[in-house]
């Protein structure tokens, strides 16, 4: 089988502080192009660039910025060979609240929380409710309280989260109150569904983003994948889980994602290699592409910067396929979700990671 080599690089990583106001967007760009083609495009786009490697952070604030228009002009011809996955970090924290506080007891009640993308749609519904009907500070207050627990999970921080959510729920009114009451109940039931000893927080974005990107490629191409990423990425911290999920010996199956779409396993990743970005023009190409994504989706991009980004979009960035975690006005078709039939998406992923005979015990 012919192999496809996929290159990856990221932009906007701020560790596990997903609420850093200076960088609201995280993005990983991937490309399926040769080193020679990447080098040609970068050199044509930025002929006066003097750095040791092409980096978006150096280009954006320099006289080389105009070259981003030339860079973008190449993207239409590469639209089937590029893909970006981005995450609005504040919204990502909200989805983690829904995943870890609300989903367990809804699923335990016999409902399929992930069917037809219900989880994502319900998170949109909550986001819309909190921002449109709640006081301006409500969402940020909620996110900060949850992340304080997530970054330092303990009996004490869980008790603090439980108390704060109950206070917030009691101080809000319909229709927002029901969401806060669901979260408060989930916090109170947290140890019924999770072990504090094994819960290491929910602030990881890199591995899930990489999986989403490989799933995108897997849905489109049958070849095996060789994955090459920047060795400075914090992605290696979750290398063991990545290797279990992408193991070619995973039984063949259709796995349903959180958005309701399906991807066939195994993902056919035959190797994953970290490479110094200075030695790879393709990784540098991804750096520039990911940087453009974070600039475009950032709420801090305004005025002249926004006007320039609009030019880049029209020059060719609009042709790049992207997906991600960000609020949308797509809401559930029915509440509650449809009844659960067979293993849910969490059980499916557990089977992929730990083997087909593993069982998740829900008490």
- 244-260 tens-digit pLDDT: 888 888 888 888 776 77
pLDDT per residue, tens digit, the chain (363 aa), is 689 999 999 999 888 789 988 899 999 999 999 999 999 999 999 999 998 999 999 999 999 999 999 999 999 999 999 999 999 999 999 999 999 999 999 999 999 998 888 999 999 999 999 999 999 999 999 999 999 999 999 999 999 999 999 999 999 998 999 999 999 999 999 999 999 998 988 888 888 899 999 999 999 999 999 999 998 767 666 788 888 888 888 888 888 776 777 888 999 999 999 999 999 999 999 999 999 999 999 999 999 999 999 999 999 999 999 999 999 999 999 998 999 876 555 555 445 444 544 433 332
- 82-113 tens-digit pLDDT: 999 999 999 999 999 999 999 999 999 999 99
Report the DSSP pairing between strands 224-230 and 82-88.
Answer: unpaired
pLDDT at 238: 75
What is the percent of the chain where pLDDT is above 90? 75
Q: Tell me if the pTM is above 0.95.
A: no
Contacts of residue 111, defined as CB under 8 A and 6 or more positions apart, other chains included, come to 336, 337, 338, 339, 340
């Amino acid at each position: 089988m012919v192999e496809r080599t996929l290159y990856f690089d990221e932009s906007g990583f701020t560790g596990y502080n997903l609420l850093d106001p200076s960088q609201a967007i995280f993005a990983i760009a991937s490309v399926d192009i040769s080193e020679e083609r990447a080098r040609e495009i970068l050199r044509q786009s930025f002929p006066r660039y003097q750095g040791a490697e092409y980096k978006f952070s150096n280009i954006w604030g320099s006289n080389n910025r105009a070259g981003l228009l030339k860079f973008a002009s190449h993207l239409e011809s590469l639209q089937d060979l590029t893909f970006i996955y981005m995450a609005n970090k504040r919204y990502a924290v909200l989805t983690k609240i829904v995943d870890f506080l609300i989903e367990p007891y809804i699923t335990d009640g016999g409902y399929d929380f992930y069917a037809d993308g219900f989880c994502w749609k319900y998170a949109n519904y909550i986001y819309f409710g909190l921002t449109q009907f709640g006081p301006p500070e409500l969402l940020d207050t909620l996110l900060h309280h949850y992340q304080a627990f997530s970054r330092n999970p303990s009996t004490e921080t869980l008790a603090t989260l439980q108390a704060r959510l109950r206070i917030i729920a009691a101080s809000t009114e319909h229709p927002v109150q029901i969401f806060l009451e669901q979260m408060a109940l989930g916090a109170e039931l947290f140890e019924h569904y999770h072990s504090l000893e094994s819960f290491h927080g929910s602030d990881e974005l890199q591995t899930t983003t990489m999986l989403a990107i490989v799933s995108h490629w897997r849905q489109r191409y049958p070849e095996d994948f060789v994955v090459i990423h920047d060795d400075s990425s914090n992605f290696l911290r979750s290398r063991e889980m990545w290797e279990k999920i992408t193991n070619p010996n995973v039984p063949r199956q259709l796995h349903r994602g959180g958005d309701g779409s399906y991807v066939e396993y195994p993902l056919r990743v035959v190797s994953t290699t970290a490479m110094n970005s200075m030695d790879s023009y393709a990784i540098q190409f991804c750096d520039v592409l990911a940087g453009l994504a974070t600039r475009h989706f950032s709420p801090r991009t305004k005025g002249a910067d926004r006007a320039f980004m609009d030019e880049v979009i029209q020059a060719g960035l609009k042709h790049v396929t992207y997906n991600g975690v960000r609020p949308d006005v797509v809401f559930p078709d029915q509440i509650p979700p449809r009844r659960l039939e067979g293993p849910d998406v969490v059980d499916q992923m557990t089977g992929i990671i730990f083997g087909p005979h593993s069982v998740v015990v829900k008490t």
